[in-house]
Every structure is written in C-alpha cells, then in structure tokens.
Chains A and B, each alone.
Chain A
Amino acid sequence: GAGVSQSPSNKVTEKGKDVELRCDPISGHTALYWYRQSLGQGLEFLIYFQGNSAPDKSGLPSDRFSAERTGGSVSTLTIQRTQQEDSAVYLCASSLVESYEQYFGPGTRLTVT
C-alpha cells in the first residue's frame, strides 16, 4: 500500500515568511508525528497527534510553530516568520493506534535564506 507522503519535498523561503508543510499518513494510521532533523543531528520530536487531537505539543520549539490535523488524516505543520535556524528536514511519521512502530515519510527539506 501507499506509504506516508509529504509535500513539498523541498522548500526554500526567505526569512520572515510563513511556510506550510503537509503530511498524508498511511491509511488507517491514527497516530501521526512530526520531527525535524538538522544536518548531522538526531531526530527532534515536535508534536504528536492521536486522531485530530494533539496530546503532546511539548516539542514545538516556539510559538511560531503550530500544527493541525483534520479528518484524522492529513496534517499541516505551519512555521510563521521563519528564521534561519528553522532550516532542517521536517519528517512526518505515522503508526497504528497504540503502537511505537513508526513509518516515516520522505521528509520536507526546508531552507530559510
């Protein structure tokens, strides 16, 4: 079946602009996760959705970051007033309910100039 998809695959934006990153999870997966990974660094957890609710937003680095999920499926991560330190690969993963077995999308490479 289809895996996790993310769009766009690459995004270059100017400092101060807003960006939206999209994630479409595997069909039937109710849990959805956002991570980011800077060059040569580990995975940084951002936010977790169970259905449409986000029980854990503890990883969002600032109030410029927000995310939503609608219909228990597609999720959008929004970064407002982007900064150069936001440059990273943003990864989305999904899993079946109550499972740690996560399946990752290909990521969105964000470059803030």
Chain B
Amino acid sequence: QKEVEQNSGPLSVPEGAIASLNCTYSDRGSQSFFWYRQYSGKSPELIMFIYSNGDKEDGRFTAQLNKASQYVSLLIRDSQPSDSATYLCAVGTSGGSYIPTFGRGTSLIVHP
C-alpha cells in the first residue's frame, strides 16, 4: 500500500526564518512529487512539483528530492505570515492511473 507521511505539526517559525517541511513515501516506484498549499477553508493550490533528484527553486520556495532515502522536502525562505497554511505532499508513480497519493499535510504557522 502506497503511503505518504507528513508530520501534522503545527510547525511554528518566526517571520523571516526558513520553514522546512518534510515528507516521506513508501513506494520506490514513485516518480512525481508535488507540494500543495491549503489555506484554512480553501481548496489545495499546487505550488511546486519536482521529478528529479536534487533541488528545484521557485522564488522563495525550494523543493528537494532524495529518491534513495525516499523523502521530499519543501523549504520556504523568508517566511511570511501569509505563508501560514497547511502544506500537502503528493506523490505519483509512473504507469499507474495518475491518481496521486496525498499526505495528510503539515500545518505551518509563521508568527510576526
């Protein structure tokens, strides 16, 4: 059974700090990795995806993938109170039905 694990948090960081969100997955055949941001009362919003080992940067966000260790992380630099949300990790495998497996999310609180 494919599993995606995230610490539920909350992860609390001060404004301006780096927030580090982690996700581990069980299926070694996983090939696609996604981070969604979900504000309270809103639907998930795709913010990052990564397919290859290493880092991928987009503005203040960096996704890191290590397939050997089966983890993917999201770093948010210069965290702002507006980054306070739940971050969902999603993982997909090739050759499947294109239904990603979602983690339960990590709640991030950025305090001024």
Contact = CB atoms under 8 A, between A and B. Distances in A.
Contacts of A48: 97-99
Contacts of B105: 42
Majority SS at the chain A contact face: strand
B72 interface: no
B98 A45 contact: no
Contacts of A101: 34, 46, 49
A104 B102 contact: no
A43 B97 contact: no
A103 B46 CA distance: 7
Interface stretch (B16-24, B37-45, B54-62): B37-45
A62 interface: no
B104 A91 contact: no
Contacts, number: 49
Interface string A13-27: 000000000000000
Contacts of B42: 106
A56 B88 contact: no
Interface of B: 32, 34, 36, 42-46, 49, 88, 90, 92, 97-100, 102-105
Interface of A: 31, 33, 41-43, 45, 48, 50, 55-56, 89, 91, 95, 98-107
**4 A-B pairs with the lowest CB-CB distances in the bound complex, closest first:** A100-B92, A42-B104, A104-B43, A43-B102
Given A42-B105, A89-B43, A102-B100, 16 more contacts: A31-B98, A43-B88, A45-B102, A50-B98, A56-B97, A56-B99, A91-B43, A99-B98, A100-B92, A100-B100, A101-B34, A101-B49, A104-B43, A104-B44, A106-B42, A106-B43
